[in-house]
Amino acid sequence: MSRNGAANRGLFAGIFAALLFAAMLVGACGVLLESALRAHAPVERFGGAAAVVTGPQSVERRMKRLGSEPEAESRPLTERARLPISAAEKLRAVPGVRDVVADVSFPVVLPSGRAVTGHGWDSAGLRPYRLSAGRAPQAPDEVVLSRVTGARPGEAVRLQTNETSRPYRVVGVVGDGPEAAFFTTPTATALYGHPGQADALAILGGDLDEEALREAAPGGPTVATGKARGDAEDLAVAAARPDIVEISASLGGIAITTALVVVGGLVVLSARARMREFALLRTVGATPGQIRGRVVRETARIGAPAALAGGVLSLGLGAAMHGAMAREGVLPDGFGLSLGPLPVLAAFAGTLLAAVATAFLASSRVSRIRPVEALGEAAVEPARLPRWRVIAGVAFLVLGLNALGFSTTATGPDAAASVGGLVMALIVATALLGPLVARFGSRVLGRAARAIAPITGPMAQHSAGAAALRAGSLITPVALAVAFASVQLFAHSTVAHATRGQADAGNHADQVIVSSGAGLPEGVAEAARRTPGVTAAAPVKRTTVIMPVTALGEQSLQSLSARGVGADAAATMDPKVTSGRLGDLRGGAVALSRDVAGGRRAGSTAELSLADGTAIKARVVAVYERGLGFGDVLLPRDLVAAHSSSPLDDHVLVRGKDADLRAVAAADPGARVVTPDEFGAGLSREIRLQGFVNQVVVAAITGFILIGLVTTLATATAARRREFALLRLVGATRGQVLRMLRLEAAIVLGTGVAAGALIAAVTLPAFAAAVTGVPLPWIPPLTAAAIVACAAGSGAAAILLPARFVLRRRTSPALS
């Protein structure tokens, strides 16, 4: 490592810090990614089973690709794909199988409104559950409950099971384990509501041949052993896995790109600050390759320990991010944390490679100068950018403008997908063309500085304009912080605002019946219709469908938010239909939002898979605009209920402002009546929860950018000690130098903030037009002010505090 004084040591320390935090961020993304790939729901009820056979747990289709062969994609199911109980006989014939238990699950609501899961008593032996009091159920009206419910043998309890509510006698209590209610096997089969079928076939035995089990069961089943048995009893973790993988990979890509930009700026500053050193080496015979090798080796020596330390520390950061997401309910229960060496190795390799690559590029110019020009080049910063940098910057700018043009003319997924490319293209273009942006900013903002301070203003303008390469390296992290934070936060606020607006505008219900338990039986909607004063009551059941969606000319298989709605849907909701009629939504029909319709209109067909994997070819009866507020797909409620683990509804929309629904709610445990405003407040809480992942991403990436920003500005300021000393020698006072720096900081930071704001101002209207149809993003003023204050404030502190420290030192006449 070079020993040319405190300035170089400060630059090296800044590079070390930036690489350290870059490795931490990349490794933390790796922790989340590895956790998602390894995550399985905990094995609880099936702990005593050697294997669990279920229906297919994912949907797989071949999707079209531009210029290539179709590729297979899969998405996990959110509901169980049932199996015929008759398959148990063939499974019993497989060598090693001792017995097969057909497991069924259905919701049971206690009188308190608390929900537990109902099973047949045969399933109790799979954990196994052990009786702590009483006996097993023997009659149709007998039940065994978990001890945590507070039930005692001999008590009579009224239980809500799917569509029926009746009294049962508690004959036994079981101890530890997931809360459950056990009935006789015939009773459980009847309450399950799907004769001849089961959710899973649990295998008891040992030394099993998985392939033989797979061949014995029909329909391409899934055979789960070991930790994978947990996914058979709880689909939530498997359903969340693809989204967390996508988020982690996306966050990791952004982290690496950001690291390249931030660390690249620091390495460029380091190389420019050492031009005099490299000039002397060139005059004594050093070759360009030797100069380039010196810079790369020094950066590698700094980067290796920084990347290693950051990789190790990333395990803690990844665990903290995982814990925060789990506490907020973003990750389902049982989504475990995996800590291994792979994220550390990935962080080390990725960060070190990025550091070496940026060092190689940064050293290209300083290594090519001729010895006769070396000292001149060291004394005066070149007026022109390298040709490759201008060409690359213009190319990315053109790409960004093309993406902008496409996003303003396209709609739905096509436009939304192009916005991501637009942001990255403009940020990279700003990084490459930073010195040109700096010169433009110094001309514009410099005039204001000259008007404010006639003496120090021209000095600040000249300093910002003359050192354009340095100023460009300083502007880039400021613009990156403002642009990234603004686009991420305001894109979510735009979607959240549009979602609330669409839901409120389209909700024509006067009252809403909701449940604090497992859901509402279909009879609740029927009872509401019979209530005096009620003109319509539409049950709504949330679900997920899997459907090919076309974006940018390519198909992708996506899990889409959907609703199953009752016959009175057209009277209680207005999704703003543009083609067809919502009243025709019955049987095997479907209504699609414009974002996923892909050009379909009423009368066409759509192929999709329901939540349990059942493929249907539905007739499109309506296309609507308010997909954010009402989901991308609307289906008949009966169709959704028939392919769900539970037929219970999520809520019921009721028309009838003066109708008294208290008796209807009192008849069902956990049901209550709320106003549309209260219902909308609950929706707002759900939207805020969905935005938590986005907040984690913004906090992590923006935090790293700000660390890089502060490091860049502080080291760049500290490296200007010779310049400050020269100003003091020609008569400038300490106060004048500080005033000059304040104005120069205002010029540089103002230019960076303006560049970042311009990127956001170009991107956000395009995004808003794509997802809402109106190019008006929702920008909370306080959040916008906080972003600007955070970037500008931290930048100003990073410039002025080191300058004060440097100016306190005695000026050396030799300027050494």
pLDDT in tens, 532-554: 998 999 999 999 999 988 766 67
Cβ count within 10 A of residue 732 = 18
Highest mean pLDDT among 20-24, 71-75, 538-542, 641-645: 538-542
The answer to whether the CB of 74 falls within 8 A of the CB of 58 is: yes
The residue behind tokens 């209260």 is 678
Highest mean pLDDT among 291-295, 338-342, 460-464: 338-342
pLDDT at 382 over 60: no
What's the mean pLDDT in 72-94?
A: 86
The answer to whether the CB of 267 falls within 8 A of the CB of 299 is: yes
pLDDT at 184 over 80: yes
Cα–Cα dist 78/63, whole Å: 21
- Between 386 and 620, the more confident residue is 620
What's the mean pLDDT in 152-175?
A: 87
- The set of residues, in sequence order, having a beta carbon less than 8 Å from that of 726 and lying 6+ positions away, is 815
What's the mean pLDDT in 173-197?
A: 89
The answer to whether the CB of 701 falls within 8 A of the CB of 484 is: yes
Q: Strands 51-54, 142-146: parallel, antiparallel or unpaired by DSSP?
A: unpaired
Beta-ladder partners of 548: 557
pLDDT at 170 over 90: yes
The answer to whether the CB of 562 falls within 8 A of the CB of 542 is: yes
- Between 406 and 592, the more confident residue is 592
What is the reported pLDDT for 365? 64
Cα–Cα dist 379/466, whole Å: 12
Confidence of residue 169 (pLDDT cuts 50, 70, 90): very high
Confidence of residue 622 (pLDDT cuts 50, 70, 90): very high
Q: Which two tokens stand for residue 770?
A: 């794509």
Q: Which two tokens stand for residue 436?
A: 């040109």
What is the reported pLDDT for 814? 44
- The set of residues, in sequence order, having a beta carbon less than 8 Å from that of 730 and lying 6+ positions away, is none
End-to-end CA gap in the chain = 19
What's the mean pLDDT in 315-340?
A: 84
What is the reported pLDDT for 810? 55
Cα–Cα dist 337/319, whole Å: 7
Cα–Cα dist 313/304, whole Å: 14
pTM over 0.75: yes
Cβ count within 10 A of residue 408 = 14
pLDDT at 138 over 50: yes
Q: What is the mean pLDDT of the chain?
A: 82
Confidence of residue 186 (pLDDT cuts 50, 70, 90): very high
Q: Which two tokens stand for residue 485?
A: 């934070």
Confidence of residue 1 (pLDDT cuts 50, 70, 90): very low
Report in angstroms the alpha-carbon separations of 233 from 57, 115, 336, 544, 572.
11, 17, 16, 19, 36
Highest mean pLDDT among 87-91, 463-467, 668-672, 725-729: 87-91
Point out the least confidently predicted range of 553-557, 609-613, 747-751.
553-557
